[in-house]
A and B are shown apart, each in its own frame.
Chain A
Amino acid sequence: MDIKNIIMAVVSLGGMGLIFGAVLAFASQKFAVEIDPRAIEIRNALPGANCGACGFPGCDGFANAVLAGKTSVNGCPVGGPESASKIAEIMGVAAVAGEKKTARVLCKGGDNCLSRFEYDGIEDCKAENMIGGGGSKACTYGCLGGGDCVQVCSFDAIHINEYGVAEVNPEKCTACGLCITACPKNIIELVPYNQTVFVDCINLEIGGHVKKNCSNACIACKICVKNCPEDAIHVENNVARIDYEKCTNCGICFEKCPTNAITIDKENNRIIVNE
Chain B
Amino acid sequence: MEGASIFVIIVSAIFVNNFVLSRFLGICPFLGVSKQVETAFGMGMAVTFVMTLAGILTYFVHTFILIPLNLGYLELVAFILVIASLVQFVEIVLQKTSPTLYQALGVFLPLITTNCAVLGLALLNIQYEFNLLQTIAHSASAAIGFSLAIILFAGIREKLEIADVPKPFRGFPIALITASLMSIAFLGFTGLV
Contacts and interface: CB of A to CB of B under 8 A. Distances in A.
B114 to A, nearest CB: 16
B96 interface: yes
Interface string B156-178: 00000011100000000000000
Nearest to B94: A31
A124 B162 contact: yes
B86 to A, nearest CB: 8
Contact of B71 (A8, A122, A123): A8
A8 B69 contact: yes
B133 interface: no
Contacts of B85: 20-21, 23-24
Given A12-B65, A20-B85, A33 B164 contact: no
A27 B92 contact: yes
A127 interface: yes
A96 interface: no
A209 to B, nearest CB: 33
A31 B81 contact: no
A20 B82 contact: yes
B74 A9 contact: yes
Nearest to B99: A33
Interface string A16-53: 11001101100110011100000000000000000000
Contacts of B65: 12, 16
A77 to B, nearest CB: 22
A21 B66 CA distance: 19
A9 B71 contact: yes
B162 A122 contact: yes
Contact-residue size bin, chain B (C-beta under 8 Å from the other chain): 20 to 34
Judged by DSSP, the binding face of B is helix
Contacts of B97: 31
B190 interface: no
A19 to B, nearest CB: 9
Nearest to A19: B85
A155 B74 CA distance: 46
B81 A16 contact: yes
User: A23, A31, A123, A127: which has the most chain B beta carbons within 10 Å?
Assistant: A31
A31 B162 contact: no
Contacts of A27: 89, 92-93
B162 A33 contact: no
Given A8-B71, A20-B85, A122-B164, A28 B78 contact: no
Contacts of B95: 31, 33
Contacts of A8: 69-71
Nearest to A20: B85
Interface of A: 5, 8-9, 12-13, 16-17, 20-21, 23-24, 27-28, 31-33, 57-58, 122-124, 127
19 contacts: A12-B74, A13-B77, A13-B78, A13-B81, A16-B61, A16-B78, A16-B81, A16-B82, A20-B81, A20-B82, A23-B89, A27-B89, A28-B92, A31-B95, A31-B96, A33-B96, A57-B106, A58-B107, A122-B162
